[in-house]
Amino acid sequence: MSVESLFPRLEPLLPKVQKPIQYVGGELNSTIKDWDEATVRWALMYPDAYEVGLPNQGVQILYEILNELPETLAERTYAVWPDLEALMRSEGVPQFTVDGHRPVRAFDILGVSFATELGYTNLLTALDLAGIPLEAADRTDEDPIVLAGGHAAFNPEPIADFLDAAVLGDGEQIAIAISEVLREWKAEGSPGGRDELLLRLASTGGVYVPKFYDVEYHQDGRIMRVVPNRDGVPTRVFKHTVMDLDEWPYPKKPLVPLAETVHERFSVEIFRGCTRGCRFCQAGMITRPVRERSITTIGDMVEAGIRESGFSEVGLLSLSSADHSEIADVTRGLADRYEGSQVGLSLPSTRVDAFNIDLANELSRNGRRSGLTFAPEGGSERMRKVINKMVTEEDLIRTVTTAYSNGWRQVKLYFMCGLPTEEDVDVLGIADLAKKVIKAGREATGSRDIRCTVSIGGFVPKPHTPFQWAAQCDHETVDRRLRALRDALRSDKEYGRAIGYRYHDGKPSIVEGLLSRGDRRVGRVIRAVWEDGGRFDGWSEHFSFERWMAAAERAFADEPVDVDWYTTRERDEHEVLPWDHLDAGLDREWLWQDWQDALNTVEVEDCRWTPCYDCGVCPTMGTEIQIGPTGRKLLPLTVI
């Protein structure tokens, strides 16, 4: 059965909405495959506005890989803004893909990539607009399999009722494997309907199907256990890890949109994973081990990406880019290759290290030295030991002074507020640090034309980290400390005007905390918020704390739990956590020990340069650290 384009019905609505181009598709390097020639059809969604979702690497990679498969097609869909949503409802136009403008409900799989929990309400909008029942239990064989991925999928429990399945970790290989299972099942005549398909996926051990697990609770609200309710369903579901990134050099053909997006550049992931061991960092914990892309593959990808896209900016992405074993050769080689051209290179790395300045200098040979960013994260030495961010005040001052001396005039410093064990003095320490930075910078440069911006946000404890047991700081305390810091910075006559201050208030962090460490009962809150009009919760102009709290009150009325129970309550060692049956490879006992070490301000070194500290990932997942040096260099490009 062929599926017609919805575009003729969408088109008359477009002159009435903001930025209509975002719904039109037709990006350079986008693909529309023949519907009838494919047997496996994916709709890939990034549950935020197009301008945020389009540049997402995960979606672009999967889109390209899936479209390269025979018999498989993938199209993209994004959250529509409320103005178009209203028109689509009144005109009966369902959620569509931007490639073929096909109805999302006609696809076999709706794969949704959650980088953050704040996209959950947008998932519900998309499902509802698509005509797909919100609850998985109400879906029929006519509905797609709704599958979640991305970092937030490491605890999909709050949206478990809305999902048919979730996958943890790197998507490249599992997306192909899922396509194969689906293709075979269809070839056999779709025996047993969607239930059989889900069972086949679950039995691979790499796909989590929430409905095949029952959650039992204690009287006091804690989880007693999570157990499979079917034969052939594994007790634990493991994450996926792509080894040898050189074999997966995607995106090869980056999507180039007509509409303006948040990242107007071509990005190359230079490695995955991070073992620095920052205890607040979920990304660093769930993406282990470190797997580098080789210098030559990076060079090839940058060259092809620029040629295919016409972008003039290239970003070298990773969780800590300066840690690539051959980063100096990478930056020098690329700077040589593109010297004199209009190609700009950036290294969004945030390590506080003078070495970083050398790299940044290399990448800015053409003379643009506007701003550098560093993330000490904690305002006091003690705080930085708690979070295992091993930066001394001396390091920081020296690094920043070097930056100013090298002609960088603006330095941005990232911090978090509300970290475990934090006291007022730890946050106020940020003001002292910033003043010392400016003082040292003025002395080093002899100029007053230098600036420093302090950027600070609320900390949210995340699953699969040593802080998964921690009490989240209440928003009143966070806000009080943030105001005190602002006053301390502003009141300073000598340095105050050279220091900028950006902060986010603490309330959204509480909602993020509820969604991050929530269990299946939180799904009712999400649904209630959505029914009350909640959309685009990552956008301050759409987010309503009051709406979330009111919805939580209603949803938890008959439960022994509330928002505080999920957020500001510290968990003990043996409490069953909602995500304990989902395995990122991290050893639970190691995580607990690391949490105790945090409380005792004991630091842990990076396992790339010191012996293994037994986090458990490599033995559990059968993986190993993959780092250089390869000893290879980037040769000059031959101009034809």
Partner 1 sequence: MQRLRVRYAKRGRLRFTSHRDISRAVERAVRRAGIPVAYSAGFSPHPKISYAGAAPTGVASEAEYLEIGVNRPCDPRRVRDDLDASLPPGLDVLDVVEARDGNLADRLEGSMWELRLPGADPGEAERAVKEFLSADLVEVERLTKKGMRRFDARQAVRSLAVVGEPGITAGQETVQPCVILRMVVRHETPAVRPDDVLMGLRLVAGFAPPSPAAVTRLAQGPLDATGEPADPFAFDRAGGDR
Query: Per-residue contact track with partner 1, 302 to 341, x per CB under 8 A?
Result: ----xxxxxxx-----------------------------
User: Residue count at the site for partner 1 (CB under 8 A)?
Assistant: 30
Min separation Cβ 86 and partner 1, Å: 17
Min separation Cβ 100 and partner 1, Å: 13
For partner 1, which is the closer residue by CB, 12 or 560? 12
* Binding window for partner 1 (CB under 8 A); candidates: 22-30, 267-275, 279-287, 529-537: 22-30
For partner 1, which is the closer residue by CB, 21 or 425? 21
For partner 1, which is the closer residue by CB, 204 or 366? 366
* Binding window for partner 1 (CB under 8 A); candidates: 76-84, 132-140, 257-265, 612-620: 257-265
List of residues 6+ apart from 1 with CB closer than 8 A = none
Residues 260-289 binding partner 1 (CB under 8 A) are 260, 264
The two three-digit tokens of residue 84, written as one number? 């178009």
* Binding window for partner 1 (CB under 8 A); candidates: 17-25, 88-96, 279-287, 600-608: 17-25
Min separation Cβ 25 and partner 1, Å: 8
For partner 1, which is the closer residue by CB, 178 or 343? 343
CA distance 265 to 276: 27
Judged by CB under 8 A, which of 2, 140, 219, 342 binds partner 1? 342
Question: Directed axis angle between helix 507-516 and helix 475-490, to 10°?
Answer: 140
Question: Which amino acid, one-letter code, is at 422?
Answer: E
Binding to partner 1 by residue 8, rule CB under 8 A?
A: yes
For partner 1, which is the closer residue by CB, 91 or 138? 91
Binding to partner 1 by residue 258, rule CB under 8 A?
A: yes
Q: How many CB atoms lie within 10 A of CB 1?
A: 5
CA-to-CA dists, residue 490 to 115, 377, 413, 494, 500, angstroms: 35, 21, 16, 10, 9
For partner 1, which is the closer residue by CB, 26 or 70? 26
* Binding window for partner 1 (CB under 8 A); candidates: 9-17, 284-292, 348-356, 399-407: 9-17
* Binding window for partner 1 (CB under 8 A); candidates: 20-28, 115-123, 411-419, 623-631: 20-28
CA-to-CA dists, residue 141 to 107, 110, 210, 258, 280, angstroms: 11, 14, 18, 36, 41
Min separation Cβ 310 and partner 1, Å: 3
Binding to partner 1 by residue 16, rule CB under 8 A?
A: yes
Q: 335 phi and psi, to 5 degrees?
A: -60, -40
Min separation Cβ 20 and partner 1, Å: 4
Q: Could you say which DSSP state residue 226 is in?
A: E
CA proximity to 461, closest of 280, 277, 274, 223: 280
Min separation Cβ 366 and partner 1, Å: 9
Residues 350-389 binding partner 1 (CB under 8 A) are 367-368
User: Scanning the structure block, which residue is given the tokens 């009144």?
Assistant: 90
User: Scanning the structure block, which residue is given the tokens 């009490």?
Assistant: 471
CA distance 376 to 384: 8
Helix segments in 339-494, DSSP class H: 354-363, 381-386, 393-405, 424-445, 475-490
Binding to partner 1 by residue 637, rule CB under 8 A?
A: no
CA proximity to 471, closest of 524, 418, 508: 418
Binding to partner 1 by residue 26, rule CB under 8 A?
A: yes
Residues 73-92 binding partner 1 (CB under 8 A) are none
Q: Name the pairing type of β-strands 266-269 and 313-317.
A: parallel
Min separation Cβ 260 and partner 1, Å: 7
* Binding window for partner 1 (CB under 8 A); candidates: 19-27, 148-156, 289-297, 320-328: 19-27
Note the residue count of the chain. 640
**What kind and span of H or E run contains 546?**
helix 545-555
For partner 1, which is the closer residue by CB, 235 or 341? 341
SS3 content of the chain, % helix, strand, coil (to 5): 40, 15, 45
Question: Which amino acid, one-letter code, is at 637?
Answer: L
Residue 215, beta-bridge partner list: 226
Min separation Cβ 502 and partner 1, Å: 23
Judged by CB under 8 A, which of 28, 227, 599, 612 binds partner 1? 28
CA distance 586 to 241: 13
Min separation Cβ 12 and partner 1, Å: 6
For partner 1, which is the closer residue by CB, 51 or 562? 51
User: Scanning the structure block, which residue is given the tokens 């190359």?
Assistant: 268
Q: What is the largest CA-CA distance in the chain?
A: 77
CA distance 168 to 156: 10
Binding to partner 1 by residue 14, rule CB under 8 A?
A: yes
Residues binding partner 1 (CB under 8 A): 7-8, 11-12, 14-16, 19-21, 24-28, 256, 258-260, 264, 306-312, 342, 367-368
